[in-house]
Chains A and B, each alone.
Chain A
Amino acid sequence: VTPSDIYLSYLSAFANTDRPTSNPLANVFPQYADAFSAYSSNTYYGINSSGTLNLSFSSAESLGSSLTQTNFYPATIPLLAPNATVEVSTQDFSLFPLIEVPSRILATASTAILSSDAQFRPVKLNVRGSKERRRARAENSPQLIAEWEGYVTNIESQTFQARLRGISGRGVEGEIEDAVIPIREVGSRDNPQFAVGALFRLCVSEVTFGDEVQRATKLVFRRLPAYRREDLEAARTRALARAHAIRLDDRRTASGSE
């Protein structure tokens, strides 16, 4: 593996310790130290504060001599037991078609309490040829086709219903419509927010690979600020004060006009 024939794909492990003073990957994989210094800079630093292990798949793509894009595919797993093997989902690679991702990636910890010398198997990803890669890289910037703001109106076993308002997109902007959406579209990170009334954004994007156009949807629930208790209390106090200040004054004349 050399920096020129592969972007980079390694597992990095960070224990619940102080922040590394140097790039820990260079220590874990000394044979690739040059590659790390050339491509990864300090972006691998991860600090765990909750006794969990961070795994970061990173691919830094070099075009010419300059680093043009770095992609991270983080995953978090509980602290490993000795010799445990962890399977990390590779679904996040789906939008990175330049890399032929193995069906699964395995990481094995050698000790129960991870330290900076924890041993992980580096994973090599097969990358297509240079010209093909550059061409695909150039063509695959996702283009947002349409976006809706929606809120959940009803939840059933496999689907949920929502009222959508078009934010952008031809024939979509400003339009109101009802939709039935598969629950599988809700990401696991959004599960706690998934409830009737919850606000979300639904985006449809297109990615072009040569003559082929792939369309993808993305549904993300919004995390909006809640009203603070003191703000509500202050509003209630102001409303009461104004209500008490209202005085009805009957000044109608004998003819009935005011």
Chain B
Amino acid sequence: MDSESPRLESSNVGITLVGRFAPDEVLPQKLAESGVLSEAEARSAIFKNLVAGQVVEFSLNWGSILAVEQRLAIQTLTVPYVRIADVALKILREAQKQPIVTMFGINREYTYRYPSVAERDALGVALSPPSAWGPWGEGIAASMPETRSTLAKHGGLMTVTMRQADLDDREAGWIDVSVSAGPGDDERGWGFIIRINDHYQSSDKYDPQQLSMDGHQGSRTTRLLDALVANFDHSILRADGIVNGLLKP
């Protein structure tokens, strides 16, 4: 692997919850009424999409919220990242009347740049040697130096994903780490993107026979939200550790 560390250009954190939600209950004013957002935050919300009963999507000064019937996604670019976990939790426990969560992911995305394409190639070759692809791959490896600054003709690794599936902190799930080539040129550097999907899911077959009065205690939804609270900070640190290990062996 290359000895020089790439430069981190940007990173973001997101939580995507899958299940059943009521998008209209995620309108900024509704979230302000339930204390999820401050009044000032709600007033400053800038809508990207709004279809009554189907889609609510808006941005705030710290991130964005998207709600559709089967998905709730909250994303931020700014610290403290835990704010999106708090917002997700507060939406589902206080703003939504009967949410159902079947799975969620804590997603980290990092955009890095190397000064030259050769350095990015070194990362790609280390992660997936072209020689492992037979004569076809060896041909690609042989052509890389000659076309090093011509993006349209430059072959090599585009995307690779590694999965960790045996995790004891969740009923089911995985950690997927993918590395993808990004755009680049000699002035800005040669980009690549690392995405980490820390995925948790539960089955309702583990629900207790008798649920609490509000129908949630011990339910899959509650167990998943508890997992979100318990694991969020650790997930962020683990993602940073994975990336550091990937880039600085």
Residues of A in contact with B (beta carbons under 8 Å apart): 19, 42-50, 52, 54, 56, 63-64, 66, 69, 72-76, 92, 134, 138-139, 141-144, 147, 167-168, 188-189, 192, 201, 203, 205, 218, 220, 222-226, 228, 230-231, 233-234
Contact = CB atoms under 8 A, between A and B. Distances in A.
Interface in B24-57: 29, 35-36, 38, 40-41, 43-50
Given A50-B29, A201-B82, A205-B79, A231 B188 contact: no
Nearest to B32: A50
Nearest to B229: A224
Contacts of A228: 93-94, 214
B10 A222 contact: no
Interface string B59-81: 11100000000000000001110
B41 to A, nearest CB: 6
Given A43-B48, A46-B47, A56-B46, 16 more contacts: A45-B48, A48-B43, A50-B43, A52-B43, A66-B183, A73-B61, A74-B44, A74-B45, A74-B61, A141-B8, A167-B237, A218-B80, A222-B82, A223-B36, A231-B212, A234-B217
Given A43-B59, A138-B188, A224-B86, A54 B214 contact: no
B113 interface: yes
Given A225-B93, A228-B214, A234-B212, A189 B40 contact: yes
A207 B49 CA distance: 33
B170 to A, nearest CB: 21
Query: Which secondary structure dominates where chain B touches chain A?
Result: mixed
B247 to A, nearest CB: 14
7 closest Cβ contacts across the A-B interface? Answer: A201-B80, A74-B44, A225-B93, A203-B79, A76-B43, A45-B47, A234-B213
B192 to A, nearest CB: 15
Contacts of B36: 223
Counting chain B CB atoms within 10 Å of each CB, which of A69, A139, A167, A205 scores highest?
A: A167
A168 B50 contact: no
B27 to A, nearest CB: 8
A242 B212 CA distance: 15
Interface residues of B, number: 47
Given A63-B188, A141-B10, A147-B79, A224 B89 contact: yes
Contacts of A143: 8
B217 A138 contact: no
A72 B83 contact: no
B38 A192 contact: yes
B80 A203 contact: yes
B87 interface: yes
13 contacts: A19-B50, A42-B49, A44-B46, A45-B47, A54-B44, A74-B60, A138-B188, A138-B189, A201-B82, A220-B83, A223-B35, A223-B86, A224-B89
Counting chain A CB atoms within 10 Å of each CB, which of B40, B79, B213 scores highest?
A: B79
B193 to A, nearest CB: 13
B46 A168 contact: no
A138 B213 CA distance: 54
B35 to A, nearest CB: 7
Contacts of B189: 138
A86 to B, nearest CB: 14
B168 interface: no
B7 interface: yes
Given A76-B43, A218-B80, A223 B90 contact: yes
A19 B49 CA distance: 10
B186 interface: no
Nearest to A51: B43
A183 to B, nearest CB: 18
